Structure 1
Amino acid sequence: MGRCAVFQGDDSSYLAFQKALHRIRPLGGVSSDFLRYYFEYLHVTGGFSEFVTGSTIKHLPQQQLKRLPVRVPSPNEQRRIVAALEEQLSRLDVARGTLQVTIRRIDRYLQATLHRMTATYPSAQLREVLASGLTNGRSVPTRAGGFPVLRLTALAETYADVTQYKEGDWEEDDARPFLVQQGDFLIARGNGSISLVGRGSLVRDTSFSVAYPDTVIRARPDVRKVLPEYLRIIWSSLAVRRQIESKARTTAGIHKVNQKILAAVEFPLPDLAAQRDVCDQWSKIEQQSRHLARTVAVSERRSAMLRRSLLSEAFAGRLVPQDPADEPAAALLARIRAERDAAGVPKSRGRSARRATARRESGPEAPPPPRLDTLPLTAATQPTLDLEIPS
């Protein structure tokens, strides 16, 4: 649905959706903490989906946000909900922080181990260990039934996934100079993330013919000098990453490298026998680290599911007990509306005559998005409060 973040400051709740930031300042009787958790609940359960606009990039305009109904319980119940969520979610936050520390420790362990295994060997530049020069791929439009060309997503962290391809607007004869072979090392020319530019993936699967695109630079190792598997391993080292990231250029927010930058990258290069030893040892270490990473990933998914479950229970009225002595929700809503009227909060501005004319000329107006009646708080009859967003 798009990136969304909710947070609190002073007496307001803030909703950041993509690049837009909305400040929502509730009137008396509605807690900004309560709103913050309510917005997070809508985000994780897809409650904003009926109110966002745009097809490729999703937006949540202010006018749409104002139409979002908010289920409002009594102030006492709001406090109970917030207190229960803070107690439970704080534990999840601590656990999630521990998982993130674990991931960083795994990465540091791998980098330290690789450095220890290779630091004593002399260095060589990438250009010195290639069977042929670095080669850029070709930009190919999409055409159903055309010859396959890899997507940039095919460059996984270790091995290239040749099943990640599109059908290109060319024939096999045109694609022949760009066909990948077993042992080819494919390097990403650009990426929006500095940590992904220059990422390399080794081609192992050549069960069918596929070409590489212009977003990729192909390096074909000379197996008399460097084992393709060793090149894959050493390319992930911290020393190589530092060289790539320090020399990458930025254009329109995209980090890029070229053949000249990549050809000059240096790395330790032992003889072939020592390279085989490194590969054998690294295979066992990598297997263990992957097992740990999978365990951490499963724990993170469980944490996210538990957080979503807690928020869903809270705003379904099942996380905290009900108290008959609480102020009725209808009375609270009437008091809030009276306070809003007394404060002179302006109503939403009507549509301008020019916009209304344009609407009539463009055709019938689309029906409004449905209200979130499927997201009750305490009961199906719980009153709703329209949002008021300060200008």
Structure 2
Amino acid sequence: MSEGIAGLPEGWATSTLGELAEYVNGRGFRKAEWSRSGRPIIRIQNLTGSNSEFNYYGGDLEDRHLVEKGDLLLSWAATLGVYEWTGPEGALNQHIFKVKPYVDQRFFRYLLQYKLQEVKARTQGSGMVHVTRGEFEAVSVSVPPHAEQRRIVEALEEQLSRLDAAAGVVESAMRRSEVLKRVLDSRAVAGNEGGVDEFAQPLTVAEVRSSTKKLSGSKWKPIDAIGIPGFVEFGQWPTVSLGDISWDRGYGTSARCSYEGSGPPVLRIPNIQSGSIDLGDMKFAEDSSIDLSGYFLRSGDILFVRTNGSPSLIGRVGVVDEGIDVAFASYLIRFRLNSSVVNPRWVRLVTQSGTWRRHIEAVAASSAGQFNLNASRLAEIPIPLPSLSEQRAIVEQADTRAKETQRMEGVLRLSELRARHLRAKLLCMAFEGRLVGQDPADEPAATLLARVAAEREAAKSVGKVAKRAARPRRATAAAAVAATKAAPAPTPAPSASVQQELFDQ
């Protein structure tokens, strides 16, 4: 590869993102303007694959805020990304640019993806959640001759299509792995895996309640288990409620906490990970004089997440394996189990299996965007109760499968990471001139950029004339009409000339 000016490949030239395209920002829509019909309002969450529902706008819009299928969109706040719109005609929301390239859109889309890596790297750790228009448009880019642009796009699409296909296989395998884990856990808690010991004698419901009451005291009351959709009692196992096997339950402390606090450490939702307690990211009570010893955790305690903005996190369980002088926060619920009749990891296995998860998510009350559980409703859920020996055996089998699944998911995540790195490497090679060869016969990029600059200036001139005609100032309306008739019509800008030239040759 021969080098041209300033170390660029032969025939290449430098420009900026602002010189190669026009960026039209979206319109801010107030909630009062939302409706149930009209054009869908395209927000960032509608671009990122989060399956967010649309809001709609039924009023009139300027053409510049209309989005049609095939338009190139750039989100520049919170989540930086480049997208080609594939949905119906919509209304462009703020924090999204509609990009109108002066060069071929396919080439420019890949160029934006490549440069966004650089933009994102600048924002890492800086607290920024968006980039300003000025600094974005000033980002320097290297531009190849238009014939080489065509070769780059063809090479990229060939390689990336294979990469996307492989990524799809990995994503599908991850979904199947998660489904398989749920299915196996559900089979385990239903006694369908041959783990039933015919010689083991489970306790009766009355025996379980009597044992728990001895631990708790005279004020303890039994709780009848409710029925939940999909749960069928297994004949040899009695069914008790979570309250029947818990001698105490309650909410955590509401003491104010921070990383710099001088009081006891306090567990939060992020400390509930993979069914266990993670002490890696702790906050501390700010008031060191508060006695939080009543909230300290003992071996065998289980904690449920009781409030969260995501229903999938509601009811997530963490098991305390050993006593620790750590309190727990008020958005967690602690159940203290009767260890003589139940293994805490059996309770976790039951309550996190599919039937119970669906029930917990269904009963979680929603308020102001938050989903909430309460201790009383959790205490009513049914728990099938084999003997302790069976519980341990089934939990061990489930843990073994979980480790195998985790290993498989680790391999899949590594493949996913390698795919992202390979995609970044391909883009880097493409825009450094190392993906395809240069051809000395190609028209230099400088010639193309000169035409782009001329086209942009022509478009600006047309815009200024149109703006003056739309808003006459000192002249009367009649004089303005006469002047318009007398003046020659402006020559339309060749809006698509450069785009067509790129790939029509």
Answer whether TM exceeds 0.5 for this pair: yes
Q: 1:257-313 CA distances to partner (integer Å, 9 max, x unpaired)?
A: 222332233343323232122112212212211211111121111111111111111
For 2:340, what is the secondary structure of its paired residue? coil
For 1:23, what is the secondary structure of its paired residue? strand
Q: CA deviation at 1:61?
A: 4.0
1:305/1:61 CA distance change after superposition, 3 Å:
same
> Any conservation in 1 of the 2:263–2:290 contact (CA below 8 Å)?
no
1:91/1:254 CA distance change after superposition, 3 Å:
farther
* Equivalent of residue 114 in structure 1, options 170, 185, 193: 185
Q: Does 1:289 align with 2:405?
A: yes
Q: CA deviation at 1:64?
A: 4.1
Q: Which segments of 5 or more consecutive residues in structure 1 lack a partner in the other structure?
A: 348-391
In the aligned structure 2, how far is the partner of 1:231 from the partner of 1:211?
A: 21
In the aligned structure 1, how far is the partner of 2:72 from the partner of 2:433?
A: 22
| Match of residue 168 from structure 2 | 97
Q: 1:25-68 CA distances to partner (integer Å, 9 max, x unpaired)?
A: 112xx12222222222233x333454x69965602344443333
In the aligned structure 2, how far is the partner of 1:75 from the partner of 1:123?
A: 73
For 2:273, what is the secondary structure of its paired residue? coil
Q: CA deviation at 1:318?
A: 0.9
Q: Does 1:16 align with 2:75?
A: yes
Larger RCO: Structure 1 or Structure 2 (Cα < 8 Å, ≥ 6 residues apart)?
A: 1
| Match of residue 308 from structure 1 | 424
Query: Considering only aligned residues, what root-mean-square deviation do their CA atoms show, in Å?
Result: 2.9
In the aligned structure 1, how far is the partner of 2:125 from the partner of 2:371?
A: 27
> Any conservation in 1 of the 2:182–2:354 contact (CA below 8 Å)?
yes
1:75/1:101 CA distance change after superposition, 3 Å:
same
Aligned residue pairs: how many? 341
**Which one has the largest radius of gyration?**
2
Read off the aligned partner of 1:15 and give its amino acid letter: L
For 2:442, what is the secondary structure of its paired residue? coil
Q: CA deviation at 1:240?
A: 1.4
Q: Does 1:33 align with 2:97?
A: no
Aligned ranges 1:25-174 → 2 under 5 Å? 25-27=100-102, 30-43=103-116, 45-50=117-122, 56=127, 58-119=129-190, 120=234, 121-142=237-258, 143-171=260-288, 174=291
> Any conservation in 1 of the 2:241–2:379 contact (CA below 8 Å)?
yes
In the aligned structure 1, how far is the partner of 2:255 from the partner of 2:321?
A: 23
Q: 1:354-377 CA distances to partner (integer Å, 9 max, x unpaired)?
A: xxxxxxxxxxxxxxxxxxxxxxxx
| Match of residue 360 from structure 2 | 244
In the aligned structure 2, how far is the partner of 1:324 from the partner of 1:192?
A: 58
1:11/1:283 CA distance change after superposition, 3 Å:
closer
> Any conservation in 2 of the 1:146–1:169 contact (CA below 8 Å)?
yes
1:9/1:329 CA distance change after superposition, 3 Å:
farther
Aligned ranges 1:372-387 → 2 under 5 Å? none
1:235/1:187 CA distance change after superposition, 3 Å:
same
Q: CA deviation at 1:118?
A: 2.2
For 1:331, what is the secondary structure of its paired residue? helix
Q: CA deviation at 1:253?
A: 2.9
Read off the aligned partner of 1:339 and give its amino acid letter: E
In terms of mean alpha carbon deviation, does 12-21 or 234-243 score higher?
12-21
For 2:248, what is the secondary structure of its paired residue? coil
Read off the aligned partner of 1:82 and give its amino acid letter: V
In the aligned structure 2, how far is the partner of 1:87 from the partner of 1:152?
A: 44
| TM-score normalised to structure 1 length | 0.78
In the aligned structure 1, how far is the partner of 2:108 from the partner of 2:240?
A: 58
Query: Identity of aligned pairs, percent?
Result: 34
| Match of residue 268 from structure 1 | 384
For 1:111, what is the secondary structure of its paired residue? helix
Q: CA deviation at 1:122?
A: 4.5
For 1:88, what is the secondary structure of its paired residue? helix
> Any conservation in 2 of the 1:162–1:210 contact (CA below 8 Å)?
no
> Where do 4+ consecutive residues of structure 1 move more than 4 Å?
2-11, 52-57
In the aligned structure 1, how far is the partner of 2:322 from the partner of 2:443?
A: 67
| Match of residue 358 from structure 1 | none
1:58/1:186 CA distance change after superposition, 3 Å:
same
| TM-score normalised to structure 2 length | 0.62
